[in-house]
Every structure is written in structure tokens, then in C-alpha cells.
Structure 1
Amino acid sequence: MGLLGSIWHTLPLSPAMLYLPIGFILGPSGAGLVTLDPYENAELFTLLTEIALLISLFTVGLKLRVPLSDRIWRLPLRLGVIGMLVTSGLMALIGITVFDLPPGVAVLLGAVLSPTDPVLASDVQIHDVGDRDRLRFSISGEGGMNDGTAYPVVMLGLFLLGVEEAQHYGSRWAPLQALWGILAGFGSGFLLARGVVKLALHLRQRYHKALGMEEFLTLGLIAASYGVAHLVHGVGFVAVFAAGVAMRRIEHERSGVTPPSEIIGAVPAGDEPAVATHPEKAPAYMAETVLGFNQQLEHIAEFVMVLLLGIMLSVAGLSLEGALAAALLLLVVRPLSVFVSLIGEQTGRTQRVLMGWFGIRGIGSLYYLMFALQYEWPLAMKERLVSLVLTAVTISILLHGISATPLMERYHKRRLPIVDK
């Protein structure tokens, strides 16, 4: 990818479409060089996918350079909450009626396949910080939100399967607990990141301290916001997304409407400390440096996760059930969930159609699948769920990877030059 990256991005293909077959070839169905059992290694895979997901959530939060009071936030919020619930419910119903799954496994199927990915469909995501295109903003923001909002539904599925650790999600207080988890997660992540970033800027601008080490600031914010959210019984994924949003909000408040790249300007080698401590440039420099580092991490995480998906697919194999689940998810459930979510919102017909198509499944689904496999419930049910989910995610990656570039190019050519208000 280091040698061919610039060429690859000119093709109607996503990098994941290269990593996936390589992983499959490395696995038992190919050369047999790597054998990773998803059942025996579920705890390790949960940790790896969790780290990758946290990196991507912080990155997408840092890209959304729009005030929280702006009405455009209603779009990803509706998709990330209402759309996730509709998707989970419909896929659970399909699991029971079409695939004859037990209720617990059916709910897990719906919950695992409900999160959309904020990374894999790069052509559809926000490219430039401050992009207000409703399609790009909605899909990016939705991917940042629904990875966290799906957690209570996953726990409900585990409760129905009799998992002891999920028993409290079967009580009458479960809806309030889920609501608290989301609100506490967002609030704790936002406030913590805001305090840390303001402290770092204060030390830099007043005392010329806390310079450099943006990579440690990035990883520290991700880890601290995730940990603090768990301490207050919040959803850690929501907290990390909120931490990225908070850092960008501070930069936007200081920089105003001027793009951060224009605020910073050219930085000659050796002048980084002067820019990092400049009264006007420091917030933009910090945010953009952290974003640059995190995007590099994101590329590596994407490679590792999709390679891992290919290896596990080589172990489990593709299934006709999974292909049918993918068809129903992508062609029926996703468009219907977008339609329901956006009732009353002002979006163009083309934008709604593309939102209904670009609901790519990826790292979030892989994480929740591995998370569920950690617990004790019948192996035969686990094997069936793994086959369904891995096949559906694979088909999503391939179809969205092929269609993203041509559809988005056509969208931008046909789109009228209207500025969102």
C-alpha cells in the first residue's frame, strides 16, 4: 500500500477489498499459514477490535467541525439512534421468521449488524475538516454514534441467551440504564477532553510547556475518556467519539470560520514550537497534528481488522444464509431504517437514497461479534451467528467498496451548488 496507495485510490476499489482476500488466502481455506479460531481467541479478538474501533471513533469525532447547536447534527443523531433501533428490530424479526433463530440469537444478529462503519467506505466519509455536505456528515456522524448506542441491544441479546453478566439488562430499569449509559458516556468524554485540551493549551501558550508528544495526548485522551466512562457506567465508545468532538469544538471556537489549515499556514522545519504556542495558531495546530497522527493509526487498524476478518472467514466459510441476510439488510432493512429515521428532516431525495445504500458494516460488527463470543452460550448457535455475520460483513465491504467511488462522483456532479444552512 505504501508503493501503490496513490494508484489504488484512483480505482473504484477500497483498501479493504485488497486486505480481505489476502487474509482469506493466509487462512485455512487458502495457504493455511494462519489459523485463528474465533471461539478460542474471542477475548483477544475483542481487545484488538476494541482498540481499532476506539481509534476510528476518536478520528471521526475530530473531523466533525460543526457546532453542536447546528441542526445538521440531527441527521446523524437520528440515524445513530432511531436508525440503529429500527435496524436491530427488523434484523431480529428476520432472524426469527426467516432463519428460525432463537430470540436471543436473533436479537444478537440484529444488534451486531446494526452499527455502520466510520472508516471503511472512505469515499463516502468526510474528507476535509468542516465538510458540511449532508450526506458525508450524516454517514460519518452515524458511524461515530451507533457503535456505542448498539451496546445495550447486544446486552439484551445476551440476557435472552441466559448470560449471567447481562441479567440486569432484563430488568424494568434496563431502558433507563441504556439511556444513562449513552448520556453519561457522551458527557464524561466531552468534559474530560475539553478540560485536558484546555489545560494543554494553557501550558503551551502561557508557560511554553507540554510541547510535542501529540501522539501521547491522543492515546491518553482515548484511554482516559474510555476508562472514566466505564467508571460512571457510561458507554465507552460514545465517550471516545465525544472526546474527539470536544477537541474539535475548542479549535473551532478559537479559529472561527477560517479553516485550520489557513490558520496554521506553512510551518518551516524547526518552527513547530513557535506555532504550537502561538495565541491564534495553537488550537488549530494541536487539533490538526492529533488528527494526522490518528489517521495514520486508523490506516493500520483498518489493515489489521480486515486482514483478521479475511482469516476468520477462511475458517468459518461463506454461507447462503449470510448472503440472504446481507441482501435483506442492505436492500430492505437499511433503506427502510433511513426512511423512518429521517421523517420530517430536510434532505434531498438523492441524499436519502445514498444514505440508504451506504450503511457499510465493518469493524463495529466484528467487535460486537467477538464480544458476544466471550460468553458461555451454545457453540452451535455461536457457529451459526459467526457464519451469518462474517458473510454479511464481507458482502457489505465488497459491494460498498466497488460502488462508493462511482456513486459519489455522480452525486457530486449532479449536486446543485447549494450551501447548507
Structure 2
Amino acid sequence: MASLLERLPFSPAMFYLPIGYAFGPAGSGLINIVPAEHAALLTSVTKIALLLSLFTVGLKLRVPYRDGIWRLPIRLGLLAMLVTIPIIALVGVFLCDLPLGAAILLGAILAPTDPVLASDVQIKDIGDRDRIRFSLTGEGGLNDGTAFPFVMLGLALLGVPSAASFADAFTVPRVIWGIAAGLGTGWTLGWLVGRLVIGLRRRFRIALGMEEFLGIGLIALAYGASELMHGIGFLAVFAAGLAMRRIEATNSGQLSADRVPGEALNRALGQGNEELATHPAKASAYMTETVLDFNQQLENFAEFFMVILTGVLLSHIGFSMMGAWLGVLLFFVIRPLSVAVAMTGARVTSLQRRLMAWFGIKGIGSLYYLVFALQFTWIVPPGYQAEDLAPRISSIVLTVVAMSIVIHGISARPLMEMYQRRRRRQS
């Protein structure tokens, strides 16, 4: 259906969601996954999908770091999140009747954004410097990692022993270290591995081929090394992708990596893949683009699987009216307010600011943090039922994610086409 979907204002995820719902208990009953009982397995599966997504996002961002456009995703990924989580937590306490720990956990789960689920708003090619696309793509790479300390804080307030260190006097230094160690470890390993492979290819014509495994191996290496150093592994994987892209940009200079000939064109020109892989000017571009192409295919499969899974889980646990109200509040009030605060003084037009505010898309990151939290036993204050709390939060989160898939999936293409028309008229 890909060719048909390209001509319609729909995202593929909008079709995957009802298929998953139909497979679940509310439909045919072919698949019955209980979120709490299968939380450990679901955490591993969703983590893999999230890591693939974060690495791919890093590979797409080619703009030099000294460029002021980088301030935009940092504002969205950090400042907007610091506004979003407390507001959702307040809504959770006063409107959803949740204990404080559960309300903070809910805010942290729903704060990350996921532009992958609406491909019309993410970067189209590596040279794309559009402020909306760059900001939303970079935000999705950052806030899936920066949400982790708040998830752990919520779990600590719910009495989870392994999260207790995130609610003591050393929480702030620990979080700062986690962010710095994650970014630093991922960047260093991405740079070292990328430079090593390019050097071996150029000088000795070895370490050729298997770029797909190189990408997967680098993801695992960066995440594992960061976790060993008590860093945030998601940020490490994002930074590893950034480092690999920076090597390409440094070596290629003005040569755009997306202009490197593909395999079919190589054969037509009589130029083999080995020649490109060892070429002094094109070796790094060839490596990076090959890794990116493969990862994008994996990312598409991960999107399909994750949205199907969302539909199955929603079919099991059911829609939440409170989740629907929270979704409306999040999309139309909380997200615009957080973006307005984060973008204060930023060099963006009012239309760009409004579109950034609208496209706070929820997806894989929220699903991962939900099943991650469900692995633990929660201890709630008197007056709350522990056995009812996890299903309530699960239903709220899944309802908001489903709403985002549908609402943002319908609106992404028309709004971005309108934005592009206005840009062309102004230029």
C-alpha cells in the first residue's frame, strides 16, 4: 500500500494500529499479551526499536555543531521537557487522582516525542536545514534519553528499590553525570570506531563490507559501555550516530553524502563498491550512507512492529476516557505552552513555533518507558489500590499514544505541505 499512502494524508502507522487492535483480545483474540506479565520481554523488544531509532536520528543530523540551529532541538529536548513533566504530574495528581510518584512517572512517560511515526515532519535528507524538521528530529533524539531520570524519580517515589538513588541528595549530580557520560561515551566510541574503519579501508583495503553489522555493533557497544559507566545509554547511541555523521561531514566537506552513487549506478559506471569504500574522499560517505540506509529499513520495520504492539496492548487493556481528556490537554495546551517557554527568544517564525508545538508526537519512547516501569512492583500511599494503578496508567498512556498516531498522522502531510508553500512564496 506504500504507493497509495504517498498520495493520501495518512501515515502508515494509522493502518498498523487497527490491525494490532483487531489481533488483540477485543478483536479476534489471536494475540493476547498482558502488559504486566510480559513486561520484561516487552522492555527488551521496545528498547531495541528505540535504540535503532535514536541511532538513525543521529546519522541524519549533518549540520556542524557550531551552527546556531542546534539550539532549537536542545531547547525542545531539555527546556520543553522540564515544563511538560511537572504540568502532566499536576494533572495526574489533581485530575486523575494519582499519587505523586505515579503522576511524575506518567509525565515522564508521555514527555518524549517520536517524529519517526510521522515521517513528513522529520528530516528528508542529510542536507535539510529546515528549522521545523531539524528541531523535531533532534528533539526526538534527545528527549528519549533525558526523560530517563524522571522515570526513575517516579519509580523511586513508588518504592522501587533499584530507583531509590534518584530521590536522594545526590540526584542532580548523578543525572548530570548520566547525561555527560552517555553523550561522551557514545560520541567517543562512534568517532573511534568510524575513524578506525575508514583508516583501515583507505590505507590497507581491509575491514570492507558488512556496514550493516557495523551499525548494529556500534549501537550495542555504545549502549553497553555507557550503562557500565552509569551513563544514559539512549543518549550514547544518539551521540554515536552523530559522531559517525560528523566523520563523514569532516571528510566529505562540501560533497553531499547523498550524492554518493548507489550500487546500481556504480555498476553502470564500472565503479565497484570496494572502490568507493576505499576512496580517499568518498569512503566515509559510502560507509555512513550504507549504515543509514540499512538502519532506516530496520526503523521502518520497528515502526510497524511497535504500532502493531500498541494496538494489541490497547485491545487488551482498553481505552481510557481520562487518557482521552489528557491527550486533548497535552496536544492543545501543555505542548504549546512548553514550546512557547522553550522557544522564548529563539529565531523562529510564529508559524514555525506553532507547528513545533503541534507535532509533539508520542510513540516508541512512551511505549518503552511504560513497559519498563511495569517490570517493578509499586508501593502506593494509603488510599490507593496498587493493583489498579498500573492498569490505569497503562490505559492512559496507550490511549494518548493511539490518539497521537491518528491525529498527527492525519495532519502531518497537509500542514507540512502548507508550510512549504508559504516558504516558497516568501522566498
Interval containing the TM-score (normalised by the shorter chain)? over 0.9
Deviation at 1:379, TM superposition (A): 2.4
Aligned to 1:39: 36
1:340 is aligned to 2:341: yes
Whether 1:394 aligns to 2:402 is: yes
Partner of 2:15: 18
Distance (Å, rounded) in 2 between the aligned partners of 1:212 and 1:93: 52
The residue aligned with 1:268 is 267
Aligned to 2:121: 124
2-structure distance, mates of 1:344, 1:108: 30
**Matched length:** 416
- Alignment partner, residue 90 of structure 2: 93
Q: Is the 8 A contact 1:21 1:310 kept in 2?
A: yes
Higher alpha-carbon deviation: 372-381 or 253-262? 253-262
Three-state SS of the structure 2 residue aligned to 1:343 is coil
Matched, 1:411 2:419: yes
> Matches of residues 7-406 of structure 1 in structure 2 within 5 Å?
7-264=4-261, 266-268=265-267, 271-377=272-378, 378-406=386-414
Is residue 125–residue 258 contact of structure 2 (8 Å, CA) maintained in 1? no
Q: After TM superposition, what 4+ stretches of structure 1 lie above 4 angstroms from structure 2?
A: 416-419
Contact 2:54 2:141 in 1 (8 A): yes
Shift of 1:261: 2.7
In structure 2, distance between residues paired with 1:339 and 1:267:
48
Q: CA deviation digits over 1:224-254, x for unaligned, max 9? A: 0000101111000000000000000000011
Distance in 1 between residues matched to 2:82 and 2:393, nearest whole Å: 19
| Structure 2 residue ranges without an equivalent (≥5) | 379-385
Superimposed CA distance per residue, residues 187-226 of structure 1 (whole angstroms, 9 cap, x where no aligned partner): 1000101000000001101111000001110100000000
CA deviation after TM superposition for structure 1 residue 125, in Å: 0.4
Distance 1:262 1:122 in 2: 21
Matched AA of 2:294: F
> Would you say the 8 A contact 1:64–1:245 is kept in 2?
yes
Question: How far off its partner does 1:262 sit?
Answer: 2.7
Q: Distance in 2 between matches of 1:130 and 1:176?
A: 37
- Offset at residue 100 of structure 1 (A): 1.3
Deviations along 1:153-190, one digit per CA (max 9) or x if unpaired, are: 00000011011111111111101111111111001000
**Is residue 264–residue 281 contact of structure 1 (8 Å, CA) maintained in 2?**
no
Cα drift, residue 99 of structure 1: 1.0
**1:268 alignment partner, SS class:** helix
Give yes or no for contact 1:125–1:137 (8 Å, CA) kept in 2.
Answer: yes
Distance 1:146 1:306 in 2: 20
CA distance in 1, matches of 2:357, 2:254: 31
Contact 1:91 1:106 survives alignment (8 Å): yes
Question: CA offset at residue 385 of structure 1?
Answer: 0.3
RMSD: 1.2
**Ranges in structure 1 where 5+ consecutive residues have no aligned partner:** none
Q: Which amino acid aligns with 1:361?
A: K
**2: CA distance between counterparts of 1:416 and 1:97?**
46
SS in 1 for 2:203: helix
- Whether the aligned pair in 2 keeps the contact of 1:255 and 1:263 (CA below 8 Å) is no
Residue aligned with 2:266, SS: coil
Q: Could you tell me how far apart the structure 1 residues matched to 2:361 and 2:38 are?
A: 25
Cα separation, partners in 2 of 1:234 and 1:417, compared to 1, 3 Å:
farther
SS state at 1:123 partner: helix
Instruction: Supply the distance in 2 between the matched residues of 1:183 and 1:416 (Cα, whole angstroms).
Output: 40
Letter in 2 for 1:192: L
Residue 131 of structure 1 and its aligned partner are, at CA, apart by 0.6
The 3-state SS of whatever aligns with 1:211 is coil
Distance 1:222 1:333, change over 3 A: same
Compute the TM-score of the two structures, normalised by the length of structure 1: 0.97
CA distance in 1, matches of 2:70, 2:388: 42
The letter for the 2-side match of 1:18 is F
Q: CA deviation at 1:257?
A: 2.5
